[in-house]
Structure 1
Amino acid sequence: MHNKTAAPTSPDWDLIRAFLAVVDAGSLTAAAGALATSQPTLSRQIAQLEQQTGAALFERTTRGLSLTEAGDALVEPARRMQAAAQALALAAAGRAQTLAGTVRLTASEMMSAHVLPPILVQLRAAHPEIEIELVASNRVDNLLAREADIAIRMVRPDQGSLVTRHVADYPIGFYAHADYLKGRAPVTPDNFAEHDWVGLDQSPQLIDGFRSAGFNIDRHFFAFRCDNNIVGWEAVRAGMGIGITMQRVAERDPQLVRLLQEFPLPSLPVWLTAHRELRGSPRMRIVFDALAEALGD
């Protein structure tokens, strides 16, 4: 009678996900935070995966955890499993044929705070069965990893697997509150540098824009600096100085005055994007099309 060799146990997805989180984070503490779990739970998952693979996957160093040879060999097949799990989730979401459920959006801070709210009010009134999650962030979320279902961006995405629609171009302008302008010299192309400006702190975006227009400024040109666009805009509305924003936003405040209209400013392109498979869901199609129409108005 021959002894049969036991078939190796296939690691489950939860263990693989825990493994990749530690690989990406470099420590159990950081990985536990990314997965919203506890460090002891994550340690048990790694130990279980090591038991199933029959090898140690990590070793401790002065800088945290580093992969062993066995762990390094596991990374590539684990990434393939991760991609397959994401593809499966996308396919399942795209085939959901009911309107009830959640749609997760991502947009910039200014778009989220000053453009989307009235649009989402109308959407909720028309389709109360659809729940909306909104990630207000200036970073470009990865739609392929399902960090969002639909993204509103000011740059055209380059992933070929996305449905992309250019819905509008939003003109921008220079604005200041009427209270700031009281008692000051009129803002002209000759003296605009003598006025107070509201700009960004760490981001070079505005500095690069001025320099490309032929004005060699540095960060000290801006009397008030903040990388949070909402805070910066509220500073303009409070009378802190001159700022730049979408005309669509500024025109809602009658106390704001548009300045330096002789300076040509580029418009902000508005792109609406979603994963192709998600367009197969009636819920996603409704939200996508409603956003396209409202943002294009």
Structure 2
Amino acid sequence: MDNSNRLNFDWSLVQAFLAVVEHGAVARAAEAIGATQPTLSRQIAALEAEIGAALFTRGARGSVLTAAGEALVYPAKQMQQAAHSLQLAASGQSQSLKGTVRITASELTSTFLLPPILASLRHKYPDIQLEIVANNSLDNLLEREADIAIRMTKPEQDTLVARHLGNLKMGGYASKAYLEQKNIPFSPDTMGEFDWIGYDKNPAIIKHTRALGVELTRESFAVRCDNQLVCWQAMLDGMGIGFGFVLLAARHPQLVRVLPENWIGDSPVWLTAPLELRSNPRIRAVYDHLAEHLIALINDQKAQ
């Protein structure tokens, strides 16, 4: 077999190439992956030497793919996907409970619902370290941005294991002080007289209320922020009507439920992990613990 044309570059060069493709410039890519710009430039140069063609042209706005670079993107991403699959498969073979599990959930869930659940988890499994990613984005579990995700939407990837744990009741609330200040009875006819608290770029609330026949737009919100904690605190401090978990609002006697129950639908709770990691004892232990305690939390809503 003639191996004279076989390339000998290593995987790190492909990673460097994909980083520049993703971020559009060597400087931005180096910052994103924690490398120095000279190191990344040398890796790109080494890959270009192996390929025998330039992969990027350098301009004022960053790095632009050449025709040779464009041709390399798809197979490079295939290599990346294969490497991730290999990593996932290898992680699934670990039989030790010692190590780290990375969990992602929304800001409200991470701040107010998870701490007691994770405290009991740490007591039960002291060798498991936890990393919490508190945000509302759908982190890609297949690329190991998280091991387990708690989300309010059903995942679409068929390579993930997902379990519907139940639904969290939602409500629309305002502080007693705010309602006393407005001194207007709330009704569908007067709802335009009230200040509303909602998301800025995230359309979730608008889509949800529209499906229930309540028309809101981004401009309907006098206070807008995509961070749930900011919206929650704004509601507590009397800035208007906001949205939140019924079981969480029950902890704050200064809040009054303003919206009728049928205006805000329940929020489904999905627990998700990659299929390969489900067979990892450490991931399984955390997954099962979260499922057990979140289901108990959901069931406790009956008392609210």
TM-score between both structures, scaled by the size of structure 2: 0.90
- Secondary structure at the counterpart of residue 102 of structure 2: strand
RMSD between superposed Cα atoms in Å: 2.0
The alpha carbon displacement at 1:107 in A equals 1.1
Structure 1 stretch displaced more, 180-189 or 193-202? 180-189
Which of 128, 131, 139 is matched with 1:130 structurally? Answer: 128
* 1:35 is the counterpart of 2:47: no
Contact 1:189 1:260 in 2 (8 A): no
2:256 matched residue in structure 1:
257
- Secondary structure at the counterpart of residue 133 of structure 2: strand
Contact 2:105 2:150 in 1 (8 A): yes
Structure 1 stretch displaced more, 240-249 or 148-157? 240-249
2:118 matched residue in structure 1:
120
The alpha carbon displacement at 1:18 in A equals 0.2
The alpha carbon displacement at 1:231 in A equals 0.0
The alpha carbon displacement at 1:191 in A equals 2.4
The alpha carbon displacement at 1:275 in A equals 0.7
CA gap of 1:210–1:167, structure 2 versus 1, over 3 A, is: closer
- Secondary structure at the counterpart of residue 182 of structure 1: helix
- Secondary structure at the counterpart of residue 131 of structure 2: strand
Aligned equivalents of 2:57 and 2:12: distance in 1?
21
- Secondary structure at the counterpart of residue 203 of structure 1: coil
Counterpart AA for 2:268: P
Aligned equivalents of 1:82 and 1:208: distance in 2?
35
- Secondary structure at the counterpart of residue 76 of structure 2: helix
Unaligned runs of 5+ in 2: 297-304
Counterpart AA for 2:194: H
2:299 matched residue in structure 1:
none
* 1:89 is the counterpart of 2:87: yes
1:275 matched residue in structure 2:
274
Aligned equivalents of 2:209 and 2:80: distance in 1?
43
2:23 matched residue in structure 1:
25
* 1:187 is the counterpart of 2:177: no
The alpha carbon displacement at 1:7 in A equals 6.4
* 1:14 is the counterpart of 2:9: no
2:198 matched residue in structure 1:
199
Aligned equivalents of 2:75 and 2:213: distance in 1?
51
Q: Give CA-to-partner distance per residue, 1:101-131, whole Å, 9 cap, x none.
A: 0001111122112211121111111111101
Q: Give CA-to-partner distance per residue, 1:16-49, whole Å, 9 cap, x none.
A: 1001111222211121122111111100111111
Structure 1 stretch displaced more, 27-36 or 163-172? 27-36
1:158 matched residue in structure 2:
156
Counterpart AA for 1:13: W
Aligned equivalents of 2:214 and 2:253: distance in 1?
30
Counterpart AA for 2:193: E
Q: How many residues align?
A: 294
CA gap of 1:262–1:40, structure 2 versus 1, over 3 A, is: closer
Structure 1 stretch displaced more, 122-131 or 54-63? 54-63
Structure 1 stretch displaced more, 11-20 or 197-206? 197-206
The alpha carbon displacement at 1:11 in A equals 1.2
Counterpart AA for 1:133: E
**Residues 193-232 of structure 1 mapped to structure 2, 5 A cutoff:** 193-232=192-231
Aligned equivalents of 1:201 and 1:213: distance in 2?
20
Structure 1 stretch displaced more, 134-143 or 187-196? 187-196
Aligned equivalents of 2:256 and 2:169: distance in 1?
15
- Secondary structure at the counterpart of residue 53 of structure 2: coil
CA gap of 1:283–1:56, structure 2 versus 1, over 3 A, is: same
Counterpart AA for 1:27: A
1:295 matched residue in structure 2:
294
Contact 2:171 2:261 in 1 (8 A): no
- Secondary structure at the counterpart of residue 188 of structure 1: coil
Counterpart AA for 2:197: V
Aligned equivalents of 1:236 and 1:10: distance in 2?
60
Aligned equivalents of 1:102 and 1:210: distance in 2?
39
Aligned equivalents of 1:33 and 1:283: distance in 2?
32
CA gap of 1:166–1:69, structure 2 versus 1, over 3 A, is: same
Counterpart AA for 2:231: G
CA gap of 1:291–1:182, structure 2 versus 1, over 3 A, is: same
Aligned equivalents of 1:5 and 1:111: distance in 2?
55
Aligned equivalents of 1:75 and 1:241: distance in 2?
49
Unaligned runs of 5+ in 1: none
CA gap of 1:5–1:285, structure 2 versus 1, over 3 A, is: closer
Q: Give CA-to-partner distance per residue, 1:183-205, whole Å, 9 cap, x none.
A: 52343344233222212223333
Counterpart AA for 2:143: A
TM-score between both structures, scaled by the size of structure 1: 0.92
The alpha carbon displacement at 1:5 in A equals 7.7
- Secondary structure at the counterpart of residue 87 of structure 1: helix
